[in-house]
Amino acid sequence: MADPAKSPLALSVEAYNGILAQFQGALVRFVRSLVGNGDDARDLVQDVFLDAWRATQRQTPPFTTGANERAVRNWLFHAAYCNAISALRHRGVIKWKSLGMYDNVDDDEPAGPAGFEERIVEGVALRAALATLEAPDLACLRLKIIEGFSSVEIAEILEIAPHAARKRLSRAMQRLRASYLAQQATPGSGATHE
């Protein structure tokens, strides 16, 4: 295999290693939130970094000397999103059916100093509401709220127009709120937290 470090434009192995270390955690969490399985998420993220390695060898932007960190991050999340959606399509699951991103790990539930019970109740209702969202809507919310991407960046990652990304963000949040309120209104849901 050619050593990418031989070209002045090529990203060094050290730089690639830095990207790997910096982003893999967030990528695994992001993909896991969509596919609902940690092992699958790790496989899909490995594919992302394999593609990134090939791009590095071909000196394809953004994997070149002086690579823009935002561009690299966008590229990685775009590839991860596509892999996750592709995996869901293989399963025939476009609309996310499991609790996924917020699978119960109650045994490991960290107890905050205050509001423990409130958080449990809030979490149950929130996860139930999130489970009603389609994967692209869930991805939008996560990219914005947790990863801090701008709507323009989200548009690039989802391969949609910026105005469409904003509409999807707005729609996802409105749907989440409606679903959350419906959870609260459902008798026996246990989500009575105000």
Partner 1 sequence: MSNNHWTPRPLCRAFTPLLPLLSMDALDREEAAAVEAHVHTCDYCQREMADYGALRDAILRDAILREDARDAAEGNALPLLTLAAVRRAADREEAAPLVFDAPPPPWERPASRTWRRWRAARAFEALAAVLVIALLSALLAWHGGAGPAHTRTPTPTATQDPISQAYVDMLRTYYVPLAEAYQPAFDCYENLIGPLGGNVGILTPSVVEHAPSSVLDACRAPVQAELAAAQALSAHLASATPPARWQAQHAALQQSTQAIIRVASTELQGITTHDLAQYLSPGNTLDEAALFCLPIGQINVGPPPLSPPLLTIEQGQCGPDQPVPTATPDPASQAYITLLRTYYTPLVSTDLNLRNCYITVENTRKLQDMLACRPLWADQLLLVRTLRTQLATASPPAHWQTQHAALQQAIDGRIAVLTEQLAAIDAQDVTRFLNTTAAQNDNFASFCPIIAQLNAGPPPLSPQLSAPESLMCS
Binding to partner 1, residues 52-91 (CB under 8 A): 53-54, 57, 79, 81-83, 85-86, 88-90
* Partners of residue 115 on adjacent β-strands: none
Strand partners, 95: 134
Decide: 126 and 116 in contact? Cβ < 8 Å.
no
- Quote the least distance from Cβ 75 to partner 1, whole Å: 10
- At 158, list the tokens: 């989802």
Of residues 132-171, those binding partner 1 (CB under 8 A): 134, 136-137, 141-142, 144-146, 150-151, 158-161, 164, 166-171
Give the nearest distance from C-beta 56 to partner 1 in angstroms. Answer: 10
Residues 24-53 that bind partner 1 (CB under 8 A): 24-25, 28-29, 32-33, 38, 42, 44-47, 49-51, 53
9 binds partner 1 (CB under 8 A): no
CB of 88 to partner 1, least distance (A): 8
3-state secondary structure of 135: helix
Tell me which of 65, 69, 91, 109 binds partner 1, using CB under 8 A: 109
Sign of CA dihedral 32, 134, 129, 139: positive
